[in-house]
Amino acid sequence: MGNCFSDEAGGKAAVGGTSSAAGGGAAAAANDAIDYYFKSRGFHGIFSQIELSFSATKLRDRDVLSKSDPMVVVYTKAKDGPPTEVFRTEVVLNSLNPTWIMKYAITFQFEVVQTLLFHVYDVDTQFHNVDVKMIKLDEQQFLGEASCALSEILTKSNRSLTLDLVQKEDSTISSHPHHGQLLVHAEECISSKTTTEMILRCSDLEHKDLFSRINPFLVISKTVESGIPIPVCKTEVLKNDHNPIWKPIFLNIQQVGSKDSPLVIEFYNFNSSGKHDLIGEARKSLADLEKLHSSGKGEILFSLNAGGHDRNKVLKSQLFVDKFSESIQYTFLDYLKGGCELNFMVAIDFTASNGNPRLPDSLHYLDPTGRLNAYQQAIVEVGEVLQFYDSDKRFPAWGFGARPIDGPVSHCFNLNGSNNHCEVDGIQGIMMSYSSALLNVSLAGPTLFGPVISTAALIASQSLANGGKKYFVLLIITDGVVTDLQETKDAIVKASDLPLSILIVGVGGADFKEMEILDADKGERLESSTGRVASRDIVQFVSFRHIQGGQISVVQGLLAELPTQFLTYMRSRDIQPNF
Amino acid sequence: MGSTSRTLEITVLSCEDLRIGRKWVKKNTYVMVRTDPLNYRATKMDTEGGAYPSWNQRLSIEMPLHERFITLEVHCKTASGDKTIGTARMPATDFMGGYLPENYLNFLSYRLRDAKGERNGIVNVSVKANLPEYLSSNDNDKKVSEINACSMTSKPAPAIPIEDGKNFGFVTGIPIWSKNHV
């Protein structure tokens, strides 16, 4: 128990108010509990809380004497699963163009397609005083339904999506009179994105007498209803300083409540025994500190004399605020609102090691029953999520390691067979080009990623030159280990400063240990043959396995990191969403 | 008459894993940015960072257009004097030319090697190249990058002023590719 073993250096370090704490805290979930819930189940990434609000126009009139009394029921639908009811709005009386007040709170998860299904019902008069949850839906009049993915709503510039209500899921709109429209609007709930940076200084700090040494540090606490202050952050300990200036303190408004919340700033003298002496304190809110900064004046500290007669003894020391600045940390959804896009690109391995595509044991076998092979699965899993973030849904698609018709082996040929352009339309376009390419090329080798990565990098940098707000995601699906590792590293390093992320999915049973070197998470920063080191980690590698049931797939884990990579790129360049 | 150099804004960010001999560096490191033996800028000294120092200091340096490399030297002030503990060469093509737009903020990192050629850490910088004077910002980007490509290999010819009163009947100028040039 002796304090000779305690981590004194750790005890002197700043906690809670560092830039990483405020920045990371603001970027992460608004609710730590939710964040932990997801992380403990293997989910990573950014979770934003969204609120959906609803209104409708031109609903069908079902009631004879008065207008319909509509209510919305929301379902979530996992892939190929049955819909699960999650929310009901209130009943609006007597309106064919209602606006509902009740909002549905949902957590936005980038890496999965969150399909939502909406049913609108006309609630019978006799149920009007019943709690909405108790209303039996099969006793009500069904007015229409609509469905969409959550990301479809969030990628609209005004975050509102208008959906036509239909009577049955797969009926065409023309054969039925229209049933009105449902408008779904999304709002991101984040109590504050503002981070405050302050530099605090003290003059004439003294303790006991003028000659004793002082190792001062601050603890800033917020006061809660019960009156007990809760510490929010503490600064580093300065050595032997009567006029200390601490390193900048970063506080997010979320951490303290609001800009006007009263804060308690306590000045302590560090004691290696752990019992620090309280020298004095000041009670100010962030708004007060801002005023202190602009006026340049100092705030007099007072000390609480416990048990003494003089409750608030005024000290000679003064607190000064040398710097006070606020900055806004934009979220991923803010950038989407400002018009940023994620552009999906795909490159497929056509090397001979995949096996003859006509034989059922080949990784490229096209099953006539419609069961997707590993390549198709990877395309669908990644493409289905990313397609919503691409405005024109035209995706560059390439193959590598094959001989197109009678030409030489190409390590970057257009999947659509064209000589001029590489784009295909939608995920369907990728699947069709892939199937037809299998018939038109001879699988060869070796496995080289360099040419495909360089082509993708060229597209990304050309887009920059045209002032685009596009971020590119290249998916490489391969069955084997890359042959020229150094050339691949060179291409990656060259592309590491561009708005590009590379996802590599390994299929089949090969040993992908060497490929993990490309993913800097698992090793060192990549180095090119010219001595340049990758500016950031843009590659993620994962080995594909069939995952059945409710577990999250490894591909989802890959995708979950994308918003963070995107934000890092934008923030490091101080690019702001302009909306 | 055009300028023959560009102003570079190099922000020296940080270094990683610096050693002297086999021991980690303890303190007092700084970085010198050079275009040639006579033209250089230096950062302030980092006294606390040890083997992972950081400066975040912006330096402005003129780089003649024919220069192909910028040298980054990491120095350490030890008891036995000033030592160069690692150098790296940054090719101009890493931040100029190609399809990158002008005023692009490049974040670049390089492997440092000591005098014996052994690896000794990494240096992280950001570089922004400002337009040379004769290219104003009204030109479109494609044209500018083509001009860069052609000016990288040769110095632009100096213009000869035409004197008053004498008509020599010729004009000299710098060849510029127009956007219609195939």
Tell me the per-residue pLDDT of A383-417, one tens digit each, with 9 for 90 and over.
999 999 999 999 999 999 999 877 899 999 999 98
What is the Cα–Cα distance from A276 to A217, expressed in whole angstroms? Answer: 10
Chain B neighbors of A533, CB-CB under 8 A:
109-111, 122
Say yes or no: A236 contacts chain B, CB-CB below 8 A.
Answer: no
- With cut-offs at 50, 70 and 90, classify the pLDDT of residue A308: very low
- CB within 8 Å: A535 and B107: yes
Mutate to test the interface with B, among A454, A497, A565, A569 (most CBs of B within 10 A): A497
Name the E strands within A488-572.
500-506, 532-533, 539-543
Provide DSSP, A345-365: EEEEE-BGGG--TTSTTSTT-
pLDDT computed for residue A450 by the predictor: 94
What is the Cα–Cα distance from A474 to A35, expressed in whole angstroms? Answer: 28
Stretch B41-49: mean pLDDT, rounded?
90
pLDDT computed for residue B139 by the predictor: 44
Chain B neighbors of A464, CB-CB under 8 A:
99-101, 104
> What are the pLDDT digits (tens) for A509-526?
888 888 888 887 666 889
- With tokens 């409710």, the residue in question is A550
What is the Cα–Cα distance from B131 to A287, expressed in whole angstroms? Answer: 43
Instruction: Give the residue, B178 or A114, on which the prediction is more confident.
Output: A114
Chain B neighbors of A465, CB-CB under 8 A:
99-101, 141-142, 145
Say yes or no: B99 contacts chain A, CB-CB below 8 A.
Answer: yes
Mutate to test the interface with A, among B99, B103, B108, B126 (most CBs of A within 10 A): B99
Pairing of strands A500-506, A539-543: parallel
Chain A neighbors of B89, CB-CB under 8 A:
531
Provide DSSP, A34-79: HHHHHHHTT--S-EEEEEEEEEEES-----SSS---EEEEEEEE-T
- With cut-offs at 50, 70 and 90, classify the pLDDT of residue A30: very low
What is the Cα–Cα distance from A458 to A473, expressed in whole angstroms? Answer: 13
A381 token code pair: 């899993």
Say yes or no: A461 contacts chain B, CB-CB below 8 A.
Answer: yes
Cβ neighbours around A496 below 10 Å, total: 25
Chain A neighbors of B109, CB-CB under 8 A:
525, 532-535
Residue type, A356: N
Say yes or no: A9 contacts chain B, CB-CB below 8 A.
Answer: no
- CB within 8 Å: A573 and B105: yes
Say yes or no: B113 contacts chain A, CB-CB below 8 A.
Answer: yes
- CB within 8 Å: B89 and A467: no
> Lowest-confidence range among A186-190, A293-297, A551-555, B32-36?
A551-555
Say yes or no: A534 contacts chain B, CB-CB below 8 A.
Answer: yes
Nearest CA in chain A to B102: A465
- CB within 8 Å: A532 and B98: no
Residue B116, CB-side half-sphere exposure with 13 Å CA sphere: 5
Calculate helix-pair angle for A426-440, A374-386, nearest 10 degrees.
150
- Start-to-end CA distance of chain A, whole Å, equals 57
Chain B neighbors of A490, CB-CB under 8 A:
none
Q: Which of A462, A497, A530 is the closest to B99 by Cβ?
A: A462
Average pLDDT, chain A: 84
- CB within 8 Å: A533 and B107: no
Nearest CA in chain A to B94: A494
Q: Which of A461, A525, A532 is the closest to B94 by Cβ?
A: A532
Stretch B97-119: mean pLDDT, rounded?
88
> Lowest-confidence range among A17-31, A46-60, A149-163, A511-525?
A17-31
Chain B neighbors of A497, CB-CB under 8 A:
106-108
Cβ neighbours around A519 below 10 Å, total: 19
> What are the pLDDT digits (tens) for A313-369?
777 888 999 999 888 888 888 899 888 999 999 999 999 999 999 999 999 999 999
Say yes or no: A568 contacts chain B, CB-CB below 8 A.
Answer: no
Using alpha carbons, select from B120, B132, B126, B139 the residue that is nearest to residue B179: B139
Calculate helix-pair angle for A450-465, A485-495, nearest 10 degrees.
10
What is the Cα–Cα distance from A406 to A532, expressed in whole angstroms? Answer: 38
Say yes or no: A462 contacts chain B, CB-CB below 8 A.
Answer: yes
- CB within 8 Å: B113 and A531: yes
Angle at the Cα of A515 from the Cα atoms of A514 and A517, rounded to 5 degrees: 75
What is the Cα–Cα distance from A80 to A75, expressed in whole angstroms? Answer: 14
pLDDT computed for residue A242 by the predictor: 84
Instruction: Give the residue, A552 or A543, on which the prediction is more confident.
Output: A543
What is the Cα–Cα distance from A139 to A292, expressed in whole angstroms? Answer: 64
Whether B169 has a pLDDT exceeding 70, the answer reads no
B133 token code pair: 């004077």
Contact B172, B160 (CB under 8 A): yes
pLDDT computed for residue A19 by the predictor: 59
Say yes or no: B107 contacts chain A, CB-CB below 8 A.
Answer: yes
Alpha-helical segments (H) within A441-502? 450-465, 485-495
- Proportion of chain A above pLDDT 90, given as a percent: 42
Cβ neighbours around A517 below 10 Å, total: 17
What is the Cα–Cα distance from A548 to A551, expressed in whole angstroms? Answer: 7
Computed from CA positions of residues A8, A12, A17, A20, in that sequence, does the dihedral angle turn out positive or negative? negative
What is the Cα–Cα distance from A396 to A188, expressed in whole angstroms? Answer: 32
- CB within 8 Å: A465 and B141: yes
For residue A536, the distance in angstroms to the closest alpha carbon of chain B comes to 9
pLDDT computed for residue A534 by the predictor: 93
Chain B neighbors of A531, CB-CB under 8 A:
88-89, 110-111, 113
Say yes or no: B111 contacts chain A, CB-CB below 8 A.
Answer: yes
Whether B165 has a pLDDT exceeding 60, the answer reads no
> What are the pLDDT digits (tens) for A488-506?
999 999 999 999 999 999 9
